[in-house]
Structure 1
């Protein structure tokens, strides 16, 4: 098991591809409809729904913050990260029920450079909608949206542990992580084509007196 925080993993400059930046603005992103969902741009009016999401302890236990938002103002600061003018720096969306239009989660690329060097994806969904296949439905649709973004050649510095062995071109990838005991999230990722490439231990943000095991996953972008 690798210990990520207390080591300095080797990094290497690679030639790959990445979505052209800036990404499409919220105003130009067309909603995508799946069997049960509408995946749309995040808007200022999502504040109350986002606050409900971010004040569910079960949801935030799997979030890097490790705790619920203290108040509506803290949620507003989180929402602002995905509203103009910062929308061009991310590719994050509201996850809504098609039947009612209610926002029940968020998901997408919230940062283009992770601790592994690659873009990172994350998602959150209200606890009452867990274990219903909704996250899988969202993730598979979002990956299609991500894959269809226009791309350009790029050189970036990445953690060598994200790379496959062997020679050949470096395929673009997007990464994420899950708490090791969150089996449901890991199954969703694996079902959507992600593979686990690293496990490490670090202090648990929910209780810094103990450690937690984390698993990193990668998804290779191919047409």
Structure 2
């Protein structure tokens, strides 16, 4: 499965992708708002193996994609759209961009492709995303996508030994 934008190709993960993913996945600063990370080499290889296996599921209701630059194929991040079940009309969105490629609009562009896929191919009624309330860059992407903040979830996640609050943003089908 491949989704294309003006500057990006979103494709299924491949076994060799672990090297590029590990560059940012092992970075402690990069994962400070996430329940995962920083990844060990084994963590990253397992993630890639799991994503490759997940892409073979049939029927498929979770889609995780490597984000690659269209002009040279370089993997710069990952994104996903995940329904809870095969029949669900609600899905969670997520993205991660290597810090070397942030602040260039790639997260917004990739997430927009996921939204279009969710509406056109999966016939979703609602897409949502959550982020740590301190992760300004992430919720700014959600706002650029037209998602609306619908709430704050107190103590939603335990991250690095501390309870964290999360914002939830939603985009209903119009």
Aligned to 1:190: 143
Cα 1:86–1:134 change in 2 (3 A) is closer
**Count of aligned pairs between the two proteins:** 167
Aligned to 1:176: 129
- Which secondary structure does the structure 2 equivalent of 1:57 belong to? coil
Deviations for 1:144-182, whole angstroms, at most 9, x for unmatched residues? Answer: 12212154xxxxxxxxxxxxxxxxxxx821221011121
Among 214, 220, 223, the alignment partner of 2:166 is 214
- Quick check: 1:70 aligned with 2:40? yes
Aligned to 1:34: 5
2:39 and 2:122 mapped to 1: Cα distance?
35
Superposition CA RMSD, Å: 2.3
CA contact (8 A) 1:80 1:86 kept: no
- Quick check: 1:84 aligned with 2:53? yes
Instruction: Show structure 1 runs of 4+ deviating over 3 A.
Output: 84-87
Question: Mind listing any 5+ residue stretches in structure 1 that lack a counterpart?
Answer: 1-28, 152-170
TM-score (norm 1): 0.67
- Which secondary structure does the structure 2 equivalent of 1:83 belong to? helix
1:180 and 1:56 mapped to 2: Cα distance?
20
2:45 and 2:73 mapped to 1: Cα distance?
21
Larger radius of gyration: 1
Deviations for 1:199-219, whole angstroms, at most 9, x for unmatched residues? Answer: 0222641242xx432101111
- Quick check: 1:97 aligned with 2:69? yes
Cα 1:32–1:150 change in 2 (3 A) is closer
2:65 and 2:146 mapped to 1: Cα distance?
20
Aligned to 1:158: none
Question: Mind listing any 5+ residue stretches in structure 2 that lack a counterpart?
Answer: none
- Cα deviation for residue 221 of structure 1 reads 2.4
Aligned to 2:23: 52
